[in-house]
Structure 1
Amino acid sequence: MRIAFLAAPEGVEQVELTEPRKAAQDAGHETVLVSTKSGEIQAFDHLDKAGTFPVDEVVGDTSADTFDALVLPGGVANPDFLRMDEKAVSFVRDFFEQGRPVAAICHAPWTLIEADVLRERVLTSWPSLRTDIRNAGGTWVDEQVKICENGPNKLVTSRKPDDLKAFCEAFLDVFAQQAG
C-alpha cells in the first residue's frame, strides 16, 4: 500500500509524523512525504524546532489517485499552512471523492474543514477544534481514536500525541481493510 503523509514546509509536530510513518513502514507500506514545496520540511516539538525531513513529492506534481491512503499529521502551524494552499486542500478533498481512507491527528482536521469534507462525519481532534468541526457540519467527540464510516471513505482521527499508539493501530487496521 502506498500512503501519502502530507505536511507543510514548516510546522508539523514531529512525533505525529515520525511515529505513524514508522508504524506504516514497519507494517510493510510505502510511505511518501508530500509537501507544498520541494526540499525539506522543518518539524517541531511543540513550539521548538526539531528535525528536518526530505520531501518525496510535491502536492502540485502528484495526485491522490497515485496513493491508497492519506495521513495528516498535526502541529498547530502545519494544518494552518496547508489549508491556505489550494493544491493541498484539493489533494485532501480528492481522497474523500475517490473513497480512499484518511487519518488525521490533533490539529490536522483544520485541513479537512477547509476541504469541506466533514458534513455528517463524527471525529475527534485537539479540543480547541471542537467548534470549528461543528461549524463545518461534523460531530466532535472526545475519544482517544474515532473511526467514522459516514461518507464515501473511512476517516480515522485522534486527539493528541498521547493517543499515537491507538491512532497508529486504528489507521493501519482501516487501511488494511481497504487494501483487502
Structure 2
Amino acid sequence: MRIAFLAAPEGVEQIELTDPWQAAVDAGHEPVLVSTKPGEIQAFHHLDKADRFPVDDVVGQTTAEDFGGLVLPGGVANPDYLRLNRKAVAFVRDFVERGRPVAAICHAAWTLVEADVVRGRTLTSWPSVATDIRNAGGTWVDEQVRICDHGPGKLVTSRRPADLKAFDEAFLEVFAEAEARAAG
C-alpha cells in the first residue's frame, strides 16, 4: 500500500515522521513524503533543527486516490502550518471523505480539526489540542492510542512520541484491514 506522510516544509517532529515511516516500510508498505512545496522538509527534535528529508510529492499535484492511507506526524509547527494551507487541508479531508484511513499523532489532530473531520468522533492527541477537538464537535480522551470508526474511514490518533509503538501497531492494523477490503 502507498501511504502518504503529510508534512510542512518546516516543523515536523522527526521521530513522529521517521518511526511510523520505518514501521510502514517494515510492514511492506510504500511511504511517500508529501508536502506543500517540492524540495526538502526540515524536521525538528522539539525546538532544535534535526534532519532534512526529500519531498516525494506535493499537495495539489496528488490526491487521496493515489494512496491507501495517510499519516499525519506532529510537532507543534507542522500542523499549525498545514492548517493554514487550503490544499493541505483539502488533501486530508479527501482521505476521510473517500473512507481511507488516517493516522495522526500528537499535535497533528489540529489538521483534522481544520479539515472539519472530527465532529462526532473520539480522538486523542497532545493534551493542549483537547479543547480544539471538543470545539470542533469531537470527543477527546486521554489514551495511548484511539481508533475511531464513526463516519467514513477510520481515524487512528495518539498522544505523544512515547506512544509511538502503540500508534504504529494500531495504524498498521487499520491500514492492513483497509487494504484487504480494497482488494476484495
Same fold? TM cut 0.5? yes
Structure 1 residue 32 displacement after superposition? 0.2
Q: Given the alignment of the two structures, is residue 16 of structure 1 paired with residue 16 of structure 2, yes or no?
A: yes
Corresponding residue number in structure 1 for 2:50? 50
Q: Quick one: distance in 2 between partners of 1:153 and 1:68?
A: 11
**Would you say 1:130 and 2:130 are equivalent positions?**
yes
1:175 alignment partner, SS class: helix
Aligned partners of 2:149 and 2:57: how far apart in 1? 29
What are the Cα deviations for residues 90-145 of structure 1, in whole angstroms up to 9, with x where unaligned? 00000011000000000001001110000000000000001000000000000000
Match of 2:93 in 1: 93
The answer on 1:152 being equivalent to 2:147 is: no
Taking structure 2 as the reference length, what is the TM-score of the superposition? 0.97
Structure 2 gaps, min length 5 = none
Pairing 1:114-129 to 2, within 5 Å after superposition? 114-129=114-129
- 1:38 alignment partner in structure 2: 38
Post-superposition offset of 1:154: 0.5
- Give the Cα separation in 1 of the matches to 2:28 and 2:109: 26
The number of residues matched between the two structures is 180
Give the corresponding residue for 2:77. 77
Matching residue of 1:111: 111
What secondary structure, in the 3-state scheme, does the structure 2 residue paired with 1:107 have?
A: helix
User: What is the distance in 1 between the residues matched to 2:117 and 2:66?
Assistant: 20
Give 1:176 deviation, angstroms.
0.3
Tell me, in whole angstroms, the C-alpha distance in 2 between the residues paired with 1:96 and 1:177. Answer: 16
Amino acid at match of 1:135: N
Q: What SS does structure 1 have at the residue aligned with 2:60?
A: helix
3-state secondary structure, aligned to 2:93: helix
Please report how far the alpha carbon of residue 60 of structure 1 lies from its aligned counterpart in structure 2 after TM superposition.
Answer: 1.4
- Matched residues, percent identical? 76
Q: Could you list the runs of 5+ residues in structure 1 that have no partner in the other structure? A: none
Structure 1 CA distance for aligned equivalents of residues 123 and 60 of structure 2: 28
Q: Deviations over 1:62-98 (max 9, x none)?
A: 1111000000000000000000000000000000110
Runs of 4+ in 1 over 6 A off after TM superposition: none
RMSD in angstroms over aligned alpha carbons?
Answer: 0.3
What amino acid is the match of 1:20? P
- State the AA in 2 paired with 1:63: T
Q: Which residue of 2 aligns with 1:26?
A: 26
Write the distance in 2 (CA, Å) between the matches of 1:123 and 1:116. Answer: 13
